[in-house]
Amino acid sequence: MLPAAAGATPQLQPGTVAGELILKLQPGASLTEAGRALGTDVDVLNALLRSSGASGAQELGAKSNTYRVRVGASTNIGRLIAALAHQPGVAYAEANHMRTAMRAPNDPVITQQWALRDIHAYEAWDITTGGNITIALLDTGVSRSHPDLSGKLLQGYDFYNNDNDPSDDEGHGTYTAGVAAASSDNGTGIAGICWGCKILPVKVLGSRGQGDDATIAQGIRWAVDQGSRIISMSLGGPEDTDVMREAVQYAHDRNALIIAASGNGQAEGNAPNYPAAYPSVLAVSATNSNDGVTGFSTTGSFVDIAAPGVGLWSTIWRPDQGDSYGVENGTSASCPHVAGAAALALTLRPELNADQLAELLELGADDQGAPGKDPEYGYGRLNLLRTVQLAADPNILGRSAIQGVVTGGQNGQPTTVSLSSGQQAQPDGTGFYRFDNLPAGAYTVTVSGAGGVANAQQAWLSGTPLSVATLNFSFAPDASQSFAPVGTPSDGAAYFPETGHTLRGTFLNYWNKHGGLPIFGYPTSEEFTERGEDGRDYTVQYFERHRFELHPENAPPYNVLLSRLGDAILQLGGRSWYDFPKTAAKPGCVFFEATGHSLCEPFLSYWRTHGLELDGRAGKTYAESLALFGAPISEPQVETLSDGQSYIVQWFERARFESHGDAGVLLGLLSNELTGARGWRR
């Protein structure tokens, strides 16, 4: 037995599955059904699996290379995961967490189906009652015998029991199915939101309303592979896991919109609920008949929209009563309202992609609470009529905008802002410009005038009015000439033939003292003058991983400042760290309250042992590490980088950490990515 995987007492986190873990392997490695690794350099990996009593592995979706691994009952899961994480060929290893149906206790009912009036369903049905759209329902299954559902169900699958019978054995799934798409105008029972839609039952929760991440991830991938464009998930839990994050991304990459309950945990700490809190998931909170957000509904910046969730009638199946009708409360009830609305919109506009569909639902919502998007209602309470009206508008995908401010022009001479699509505009007296009524697509924006040519910037628009890109520009001379290689200097400056650039003076001293080649990389430009975001000109120099900015007014080492390249690269890719799901403090990790993220191994050790030299003493303090890298602005996540390989990465204000197996932690070449995108170097 290897000590890393052994332990007299298994140490399980609360809410995890005993005797199981989830293991994702890098391309080139795989697991057999018996739990043995195949590929190169997997001897230690196999030894760890054998020592843990691994008895089987199940791939969580074709070609996912992600496995549910069964291990011995006495295995210390925590130690095994820590040991596996450092092995060649392993992308990540983690516990198999449980998720729970998002239902709250019943309250007294005053009226029946009050929500249909609240969200203007009757008027919306005058426009459409739905078409041949499938809503994949990941839940406890659905009763096939229920008279309001029997004609609406496609052949689904039971991933909880691994068979072809996704019948309900708890009742929760039958309830949510009725809210979304019960048969209507049939003289019996209740009315679902999307009359014409089909339900694909995907059973991922058992008879107690619980299921694990491995099962749910399989269900998501399978539903997407069956062609489902809408996935309704009235379930969740507080853990942000790699396997769940990847399954959600799999759906988004294939144009499927996941709609999920925000959770019922407001009174229990109001922690973010996953999968709802992932950026590409439409998170739904619950409202009452007075349009107030309920006291149980989990709220937070991740909430996108609200929908009725109290005292709602729907189809019911109970083990002791069979099929009937009844009332439930919870964000579980809110979620299928929005899923049904999405199906109505998709009936009218099947060409909508997942992001456009989400934005139509948000645009159509009745703004409640604080003006604009807020942590309780998101963009507002669902309005079914307004949603289908927007979907029916032939011009709805031609109303995006690009705007911003141009600073640093020369001698008051006019400047021109140009779009790659041909439009041009001149900024007003304050430097503000705006282009309206832009259709979906990618745009390049450039600014030209007497001050030179400002950096070109890119934006992608969805076409809806919610898609507004803000691009600010500051004039500076053309910097590309400073990236052309130079010859060997005659003044004694350091020369780097690898890139053909020199390093001298203050920047050379700073480079040598604070990390040199491993931290900053080779210089990729000469020193030149660049205008900063504050409109002032600075002497700067670019390196493979960083940008130095000279501030002679400050005492060393603050006379050289490092740019927030981590933040800049995310923005360049259309991402914002503000939208990344936050976490709570974790054992053995350092939590950064300012950004809401934790720093754990293996990245924690690297962060702690590197930093600027501020105090002249051996070792690195918290302040010295913070000064070099900044705070984390994401959790560790799997990303495919420019080499086509997938790595666990974590973003920081001024860096990106990458886990490269035996090679350890490497820093991303963020400056190269930035200058390449600007066209300064190839």
**pLDDT-based confidence at residue 409 (cuts at 50, 70, 90):** low
Q: For residue 41, what pLDDT is reported?
A: 84
Q: What are phi and psi of 492, to 5 degrees?
A: 85, 5
CB distance 21 to 96 below 8 Å:
yes
Query: What is the C-alpha to C-alpha distance for residues 114 and 527, in angstroms, rounded to an integer?
Result: 68
**pLDDT-based confidence at residue 412 (cuts at 50, 70, 90):** low
- Cis link prior to 108 (omega < 30° from 0)? no
pLDDT in tens, 568-619: 898 888 788 878 888 878 888 999 988 889 999 889 999 999 998 887 788 8
Q: In terms of Cα–Cα distance, which of 109, 147, 355, 144 is closest to 251?
A: 355
Q: What are phi and psi of 407, to 5 degrees?
A: -125, 165
Which class would CATH give 397-474? mainly beta
pLDDT in tens, 264-317: 998 888 999 999 999 899 999 999 999 999 999 999 999 999 999 998 999 999
Ranges 217-231, 250-264, 327-341, 614-628: which has the least confidence: 614-628
**pLDDT-based confidence at residue 188 (cuts at 50, 70, 90):** confident
Query: What is the C-alpha to C-alpha distance for residues 315 and 313, in angstroms, rounded to an integer?
Result: 7
**pLDDT-based confidence at residue 74 (cuts at 50, 70, 90):** confident
Q: Is 174 helix (H, G, I), strand (E, B) or coil?
A: helix
Mean pLDDT, rounded, for 111-120: 80
DSSP code of residue 374: B
408: exposed, middle or buried (Cβ count in 10 Å: 0-12, 13-18, 19+) = buried
Q: Is the pLDDT of residue 533 over 80?
A: no
Whole-model pTM over 0.85: no
Catalytic residues: 139, 172, 332
CB distance 548 to 522 below 8 Å:
no
Q: For residue 110, what pLDDT is reported?
A: 27
Q: Is the pLDDT of residue 530 over 90?
A: no
Following DSSP, what letter does each residue of 391-455 receive, concatenated?
Answer: HH-TTGGG-EEEEEEEE--STT--EEEEETTS-EE---TTSEEEEEEEPSEEEEEEEEETTEEPP
DSSP code of residue 341: H
Ranges 120-134, 227-241, 562-576: which has the least confidence: 562-576
CB distance 343 to 387 below 8 Å:
no
CB distance 192 to 133 below 8 Å:
no
Q: In the chain, where are the structural domains located?
A: 16-97, 102-393, 397-474, 480-563, 572-677
Fold annotation for 16-97: Alpha-Beta Plaits (3.30.70)
Residue with the bigger pLDDT between 106 and 218: it is 218
| Residues 599-612 as b or e (16 or more Cβ within 10 Å = b) | bbebbbebbbebbb
Query: What is the C-alpha to C-alpha distance for residues 508 and 83, in angstroms, rounded to an integer?
Result: 40
pLDDT, the chain, mean: 89
The CATH number corresponding to 102-393 among 3.40.50.200, 3.40.605.10, 3.30.365.10, 3.40.50.970 equals: 3.40.50.200
Q: In terms of Cα–Cα distance, which of 681, 338, 403 is closest to 524?
A: 681
Query: What is the C-alpha to C-alpha distance for residues 211 and 202, in angstroms, rounded to an integer?
Result: 12
CB distance 665 to 580 below 8 Å:
no
Q: Is 254 helix (H, G, I), strand (E, B) or coil?
A: coil
Residue with the bigger pLDDT between 472 and 361: it is 361
Q: What are phi and psi of 84, to 5 degrees?
A: -65, -35
Q: For residue 6, what pLDDT is reported?
A: 37
Q: For residue 402, what pLDDT is reported?
A: 96
Q: Which two tokens stand for residue 50?
A: 């054998």
Q: For residue 452, what pLDDT is reported?
A: 60
Q: Is 261 helix (H, G, I), strand (E, B) or coil?
A: strand
Mean pLDDT, rounded, for 80-96: 88
